[in-house]
Copies of this chain bind each other. A is one copy, B any other.
């Protein structure tokens, strides 16, 4: 059994830095301002609204708020910053994104207008459908990473932050396989100096943060911090990290449904998933190279959950197909339609159709907030490297060497909750409960 960590209090201000200040980032920032102003509620955020069962089920179960159990940073003492390839301030960018009601944004115009993106590290080769002018210049990728580190220092000083975390909210970059350059800190730094093509901008942000001991999470399916070199560096610098790809919409549903069907030993013959969405993310993913990155991230979940090798009669022939379609009429309000062909007793076929009329940024925003605040908590608990207990939020979670990542959202939740209990020395919960029935 792991040793209980000792967790420091959350004092002073926390800076949350977001590379990529588009629909998702501005929805988080405007949302936190709205919540702090008492205009709305942080629905979807466990750090703000979640509760944790402590102790036995009998005698009036105790279920305090998570933030009453572990020391979460106070939302009123959070400041936001970030980088973008467009120079719109957060009010402008949020208005453009058309996610939130314009009346709400107008009521927050003053504070949101003050938040302006720093110049981004951007390279069109990695995101072909975007183009922007608010970008850094630098001879080498290492030079660019150093500019980011300088930005962070300045931000921290200017905003009088006690601590800082970083969460990648930028676009999906093109598909890059892990290669030799990603294996050690030394090879990675050499590659950065030599402008190695396998080092995409998101990796420079990850490097900059981790190098400085800053917690880092990655909301897109790019490699970013998911390479041995950065895991090693994170351990060295004491940085907790969590990647990759926010688990929203269709994959969220998939990691809810698949464990449910498997729990009952129902066979699955086919799973067809299609998405329609019309925001910038949809436009980026309309390019096959960028879609590849997302597809790989989305495809893995069923295999790990269903274990076709262990259950060949049930899942060996599962045909899994994922499609993403750019469909402008919807804007940010994406829709995921799933058809699942299942098999029951004596192999009789049945079907499940799920139509999820969701909202991309609305589902992602509380994840950004939770990842930032939980990573900051981990940092204060002296936890570093991969935070597997945050897999709960991620489509393609990182796992330690030799371990399969866990995709089942209910096992992820058990892991998250028991980690929180463990941090404060409470009994872990395993749902045996036979003692309630003994005399």
Could you list which residues of chain A lie within 8 angstroms of chain B, going by C-beta atoms? 1-3, 27, 31, 34-35, 40-46, 49-51, 57-59, 63, 100, 104, 252-253, 256-257, 259-261, 263-267, 269-270, 272, 274, 276, 307, 310-311, 313-314, 319, 321, 323, 325, 327-330, 335, 337, 339, 341, 343-348, 350-359, 362-363, 365-366, 385-386, 388-389, 392, 400, 402-404, 406, 409-411, 413-415, 418-419, 422, 428-438
- In the complex, the answer to whether B353 meets A354 with C-beta atoms within 8 Å is yes
Closest 5 CB pairs of A and B: A256-B260, A270-B329, A2-B434, A410-B410, A414-B431
A388 to chain B: which residues have CB within 8 Å? 433, 436-437
- Pairwise interchain contact B345-A366, C-beta atoms closer than 8 A: yes
What residues of B have a CB within 8 angstroms of the CB of A59 in the complex? 402
Cβ A323 vs Cβ B418 within 8 A: no
Chain B residues near A437 (CB-CB < 8 A):
385-386, 388, 400
User: Is A43's CB under 8 angstroms from B313's CB?
Assistant: yes
- Asked if A339 and B347 sit within 8 Å, CB to CB, the answer is no
| Contact assessment for B345 and A42 in the assembled complex, using a CB-CB cutoff below 8 Å | yes
Given contacts A2-B432, A329-B319, contact A46 B274 (CB under 8 A): no
Main secondary structure of the interface of A (DSSP, over half): mixed
- Among B41, B274, B344, B413, which residue has its beta carbon within 8 angstroms of that of A363? B344
Chain B residues contacting A429 (CB-CB under 8 Å) are 430
B residues less than 8 Å from A2 (CB atoms): 432, 434-435, 438
In the assembled complex, the CB of A54 is this many whole angstroms from the nearest CB of chain B, namely 13
Contact check, A346 vs B31: say whether CB atoms are below 8 A apart. yes
Q: Give Cα A74–Cα B355 distance, bound, in whole angstroms.
A: 42
Question: Which residues of chain B come closer than 8 Å to A435, judged between CB atoms?
Answer: 1-2
A404 CB contacts on chain B under 8 angstroms? 57
Complex Cα gap A344–B363 (Å): 7
Contact yes or no, B347 A43, CB < 8 A: yes
For the complex, give the distance between the alpha carbons of A433 and B27 in Å: 33
* Contact status B100-A346, CB under 8 Å: yes
Contacts of A348 in B (CB 8 A): 359, 362
CB neighbours (8 Å) of A263 from chain B are 256, 392, 409-410, 413
Report the minimal beta-carbon distance from A289 to chain B, rounded to whole angstroms: 17
How far apart sit A435 and B372, CA to CA, in the bound complex (Å)? Answer: 23
Contact B411 A431 (CB under 8 A): yes
Once the chains bind, are A323 and B325 in contact (CB under 8 Å)?
yes
Q: Residue A432 contacts which of B51, B259, B265, B415 (CB distance < 8 angstroms)?
A: B415
